[in-house]
Copies of this chain bind each other. A is one copy, B any other.
Amino acid sequence: MILTVTLNTALDVTHHVRALRPHTSHRVSEVRERPGGKGVNVARVLAALGHEVTVTGFAGGATGRVVQERLAAVPGLVDALVPVTGATRRTIAVVDGRTGDTTRFDEPGPTVTPAEWSAFQEVYGDLLAGASAVALCGSLPPGVPVGAYAGLVRSARAAGVPVLLDTSGEPLRRGVAARPDLIKPNADELAELTGSHEPLRATRDARRRGAHAVVASFGADGLLAATPEGHWRATPPVRVRGNPAGAGDSAVAGLLSGLVEHLPWPDRLARAVTLSAATVLAPTAGEFDRATYEKLMTRVSVTAA
């Protein structure tokens, strides 16, 4: 089983309006809700690829109940979320029907108590025993210590479970120092971590800081990988246009599935970049279009960098 950790799960709400006009009232014509947070998105893609996946992190309140009800309906996905007293956050994405642009409002998430954080660490330790790989994803809710991911990386390494870290800012900086097997920063996260805007230099620098391998995502330009086995660039065959929401999470799912299937690095990167493109092209944010995935898969370019 692949384990994904989402400490700040979310109920992702999408509102369609005719046109966004600040400081007025809008009738929402269409409402969609689904479980969110990076690790949850990764898990959904892994489940769609046929992997057994377990989701942990926190869930609480009425929004947490909705998240858990919806996750229960996903085949291949096991819910191991730990209860918290506070309510799981909402993210509201308002889609402007005139331009297609999205305006987001992200709630901060519940304040996690020290007892809840301890309970999570215990559950996490137990789950590691049955995991073939683990992904630690997204932001930290209030109350969780900033060094949280560093501790979770160390536990995974002690248990001999390959660990991927996908976060940003100080939690990423501290997590990298704990020597995760893989990080997947985007351009901004990589620059913030290393102080360098030069991709080749920055990915190598991130490895020196502790990451065993680094796969950096550059949107439509694809992925750049710095690993002990070599350096590669993976580029989608066409420049795709669409909704980039969830594209990074699909790349993480591609990398993780390739890891547990022991694929060579170029094949993992091809899968990740293709899943990413198929997510951008999907009509619903964060889903991926399987036909696109299968069509593009054979045409990705992976070259030595």
A227-266 interface with B by 8 A CB criterion: none
What does the 1/0 interface line of A15-59 toward B look like (CB < 8 Å)? 101001111111111010000000000000000000000000000
Q: How far is the CB of A126 from chain B (nearest CB, A)?
A: 29
A102–B15 Cα distance when bound, in Å, is 17
What does the 1/0 interface line of A97-136 toward B look like (CB < 8 Å)? 0010111111110000000000000000000000000000
B26 touches A104 (CB 8 A): yes
Q: How far is the CB of A120 from chain B (nearest CB, A)?
A: 22
For A63, the chain B residues whose CB sits under 8 A away are 62
Q: How far is the CB of A181 from chain B (nearest CB, A)?
A: 30
Q: Which chain B residue shows the least CB distance to A23? A: B101
B101 touches A28 (CB 8 A): no
Q: Is A92 an interface residue (CB 8 A)?
A: yes
A26–B91 Cα distance when bound, in Å, is 10
A94–B24 Cα distance when bound, in Å, is 10
Q: Which chain B residue shows the least CB distance to A25? A: B104
Tell me the A residues contacting B by CB distance below 8 Å.
13, 15, 17, 20-29, 31, 62-63, 65-66, 90, 92, 94, 96, 99, 101-108
